Structure 1
């Protein structure tokens, strides 16, 4: 029995350490200020951004020093005021945030010095779900937990989310995302909840704009003593007593467990019009599609306002939907496709159809660095980097698009694999590499590119992480 208890304690300790690494580590992003339209991109996976530090200026002579005159690097006490406050206002609480360097240049904190923007942030333990207009947001928790919605907004706050194949006028209005309490009223206290992102339900905050629903939530214990188990646990108390009791290990584990998003995900998009966007998204990992359906398997899904005869055939399925989704999305951090791509051949004429995808997020870290920004790969003490793969170029019209002209993002067929990152970073605890043509070559001249890296952390003795 003592051996069993010890095994449980060790297992729980390992679990807590792994989970802490997923949601509590600090991420640093650095963008060199080399031209007017540089993009500074912050991203959280199974959580939301919480800013810790920010600098626009220079505090080190070694950062963003490639190709710079030495006299432009000597002032390491250069910092623009209010940088932290500006980024907090723009990014806190978001799953993804892209900023233009042009927004930080005035006033210039040190004329004649080569500057950069560097941010440190953490990802709060929360789940963020985005459903493009007319798609279905699916919120769910594991057995014994229930949904608690932090917040929900419907409309549009940027030109990148749910932008696949949309016309410029449909995504230009980025000031129309409105908060709503409808999701919390419908979903709080439930284990699972589905809600359609539609004007009929949320109203239309910006007519003519293609909108989306953005929901941030967590999972709480459903029992009456939930607070005793999974309420906030001060870090100093946890550290002080962590070694003394397996009971406290149980508390730590159940407190962190709701933040982990390892279960299967499902996205459903109703086939209302030609340009419905079907969006899959992973945070600290990459997409692995397990199943997909274009057709109808239920009379209830996407049934609002449809006549009964359009819902009767529940054995309608296009034959190669899963293969198409796998080709388009597997191995990517995020993926957007249109329902129109699946309509031919029509599996059941006269039936109202939907696209539904089940997928999981394979355990991997994905780093995206816009061109001339710095990708930083890192592992906790005792572990080293192992690169699954890296690509440089462009595969979509949504990543690293802030402030770019249309011709700079049109070519989405130029993302080329590279072994440069693996050769430079494998076996190291931390590694930085600049996303530039000088390092990777230029697979598509005139296109604004980015570096995409998927990696994991292995023990130093090469045992899998």
Structure 2
């Protein structure tokens, strides 16, 4: 899916932003899994309106690490708002008009606590792991990696409350024949809470951990959430959502936090529509905050 920058902001989700600049929830069925991302220019047609031929001349221009940057910020989210200045780690082609092009899928969620996979590798990167009674020739290759490991694990596990995946060649392929392999992965467990308009969202961690807010969206993106007893006219507008940093500003770093789901706090993105606040967050010990 091509995401055209509007100003410096890119919105990733299942619906395009409308001209008013609203941010839309990625999917009412799941969370975002970014499949590809390119920042640069690989053709002369995309985002060419109003640009000079010189600004479109280089069609072999792309930043190498764009996918990793976008996945780190967006994978596992219901909605993702990116600023292109944060995506750009360097200018791959000065003087050329660039754009961001992404594709993503929506991974179903079980609700409540959900898994988000950071990294995964099926192979071998050290002699010391899973080495019991194995002959040395099966352990000596410590540069055995599978580039598809994270994708396979993420597609199986992201958004689920629990997940089992077999560490086997039949699942990941045999990337280094003759080497005894293992699956190493890292992940976080994140939560989602929903508060209907004019109620309160209560976020709480166990003792010793603090809140880290990943996403907060106020509005309406489906006709079922917080719809009980509401007339059709109040739930029919499902293109009514806006991202807000107010929850993160109020709650990040606290053990617990209560915030009102109201237009007085977040503004009213669609007058006459009954709205709700959807927050994705996790709980971490304070020292873990910047190691993600």
TM-score, normalised with respect to structure 1: 0.25
Structure with the greater alpha carbon radius of gyration: 1
**Higher-RCO chain (CA-CA 8 Å, sequence separation at least 6):** 2
